[in-house]
Structure 1
């Protein structure tokens, strides 16, 4: 069998010996999906394995495959191919930039032109001929080249599961063993900066407020709350959200509101719930009219809770919850940027963000999570990427016949509010459902245009002609 050996280095100024990578030339009809083949006529690298990408962006380029078929790329990104030096046996990583993703391809393609542009030079064996245009990576022990899902991609997935939490906070979770379910992840995996395009586009630094008083150190001693107007209506008709936070514990609660009048009722119900185990001494709020009413004032007096109000137009005095509003909305923006979820789902995304934020470490607690302060280590094994595709089991009582599908496609939005399970968007009916028996595809989401039409049909009463099949697409970072 003929073979080709590639020699080269990304940096010719470095005085190291050149790297040699061995490959087998073949023209058989093997259809191994994880194989990488070099095509002399290919102008771009093409990969059919979504998990091999360490970063992705949307792309609509059309190209001709290695067998002459026409394909359309859905995304373009970076792939690392791990191999070994044919001479020394040491590990070598081929960095393939601008690689096109094509899920329908039967093989992964390496572009000869792109490799030569990177400085790799081929040398052929005597039995190799110029007619051999397809070169397959050998699977021999010392000359094996295979695609590996870069460890950074696993880190990125956890970054998304935690609603785009920063890398240092994730590192603390693993380093201090503050949660279970991280499997084989190590703290050192988070040393490299996270290259999340969605975070770069949606998060900006904000001036910090000066601290004017000492913070409470006793859990549940002081609660603070604020109402924020979003200006966009959710599927449930909500335009506001309310955040309540414990000053010492930094644990938070979130409520979606149709009108501001609902805020006082939420505060009273929360206090009644917490007073069963804790003593609440103070409640802080701004001068918003939603909290200026006789019923709330009377309730606080009866329960011996001191009411603290900020001065007009000075949100700095209620800065903890004010900054919390912006931080959480930044994460909502990042999730929408990464998944293309419609704006009408901002409320569902926000509830998901608050849920995982209570499992995340904070500087105010010296790197500990709010849940861990209470003595309960959070279990993150069931965390999923918001906006990913999920398949919900259909009970046999709801099947019309024996050949009915056993699961329906849905979109994961968060966690059930009053039961164990997941909160899902049915991709056929557009209804929000809660199910426990669910399987997930965290690398896939749904075209945003389809979701917009689905929600318009269900919640706005529009007449929309949906396609027969749900348009699944790769999820971008």
Structure 2
């Protein structure tokens, strides 16, 4: 309990002036993104954030191992997946400088934005040419990136990203028209005399971890991976 004696009809308080300090902290944006995402449950938001964190860790390990160089700076938007305490601590521990672009100013990340538009433009072309349903946009996106990495660009003085990264000329002899009808041979040991000798499919791109093609099996409605295919590049899937 504080007691103050009145002097001349007032209550004077003497306080020693101490050094004024301002403390800053990293704002936890989980509440903000919880509201932005329609009050989506926090556990799922944390799962989304950790998933991006895991993807970045794999990307970092893979890119640094192949290039022999270290990531020094990361530029990203202000999404919660990039501003979590776990992610900030991880970058700080590794000495990676994190640059956050200002909200609603995509020009600050112009290179990525322009590349995204290039990829999107190619995705539309791939889907429209063979009248492929939009549900396969992800396959078209992966194929677009695969192709752009093997195409020359002014940013690299006419070289391809593939040869700059791997110091080798990319092979394009295996490329086929996205969305065309293709046929996957069925091995004799997996069929009898009356069974179909080939599976009718739609070509949806290239495998990321083997020299094989990704094919949509029209009958089973599943994606399969195979190397020995016959392509009808002029055909359109009905």
Aligned to 2:135: 344
Q: Distance in 1 between matches of 2:106 and 2:59?
A: 23
Q: State the partner residue of 2:201.
A: 410
Q: Counterparts of 1:402 and 1:278 in 2: how far apart (Å)?
A: 56
Q: 1:259 to 1:440 in 2, by over 3 A?
A: farther
- 1:309 Cα deviation after fit: 1.1
TM-score for both structures, normalised by structure 1: 0.38
Displacement of 1:259: 5.4
Q: Which of residues 49, 58, 71 is equivalent to 1:269?
A: 58
* Residue 165 of structure 2 corresponds to residue 376 of structure 1: no
Deviation at residue 419 of structure 1 after TM alignment: 2.4
Q: Which runs of 5+ in 2 are unaligned?
A: 1-46
Q: Distance in 2 between matches of 1:259 and 1:284?
A: 19
1:261-340 paired onto structure 2 within 5 Å? 262-276=51-65, 277-340=68-131
Q: Distance in 1 between matches of 2:63 and 2:161?
A: 15
Q: Deviations over 1:69-126 (max 9, x none)?
A: xxxxxxxxxxxxxxxxxxxxxxxxxxxxxxxxxxxxxxxxxxxxxxxxxxxxxxxxxx
How high is the TM-score relative to the length of structure 2?
0.75
Counterpart position of 2:179: 387
1:260, distance to aligned residue in structure 2 (A): 6.7
Query: Residue 260 and residue 356 in structure 1: after superposition, are their counterparts in 2 closer, same or farther (change >3 A)?
Result: farther
RMSD: 1.7
Q: Classify the secondary structure of the residue corresponding to 1:326.
A: helix
Cα distance, 1:261 vs. partner?
5.7
Question: Where does 1:59-70 land on structure 2 (aligned, <5 Å)?
Answer: none
Residue of structure 2 in register with 1:212 after alignment: none
Q: How does 1:178-197 map to 2 (within 5 A)?
A: none
CA distance in 2, matches of 1:274, 1:355: 16
Q: How many residues in Structure 1 have an aligned counterpart in Structure 2?
A: 189
* Alpha-carbon distance in 1 for matches of 2:118, 2:221: 29
- Does the residue aligned with 1:323 lie in a helix, a strand or coil? helix
Deviations 1:37-81 (A, max 9, x none): xxxxxxxxxxxxxxxxxxxxxxxxxxxxxxxxxxxxxxxxxxxxx
| Contact 1:391–1:410 (CA under 8 A) maintained in structure 2 | yes
Matched residue, 2:158: 367
Counterpart contact for 2:49–2:84, Cα < 8 Å: no
Contact residue 408 and residue 426 of structure 1 kept, 8 A:
yes
- TM-superposed CA distance for 1:365, in Å, is 0.8
**Greater fraction of residues in strand:** 1
Q: Distance in 2 between matches of 1:345 and 1:273?
A: 27
Equivalent-residue separation in structure 2 for 1:295 and 1:347 (angstroms): 29
Give the secondary structure class of the aligned counterpart of 1:311.
coil
- Counterparts in 2 of 1:134-153, with a 5 A limit? none
Instruction: Please show how residues 30-429 of structure 1 align to structure 2 within 5 Å.
Output: 262-276=51-65, 277-373=68-164, 374-399=166-191, 401-429=192-220
Change (3 A) 1:349 1:261: farther
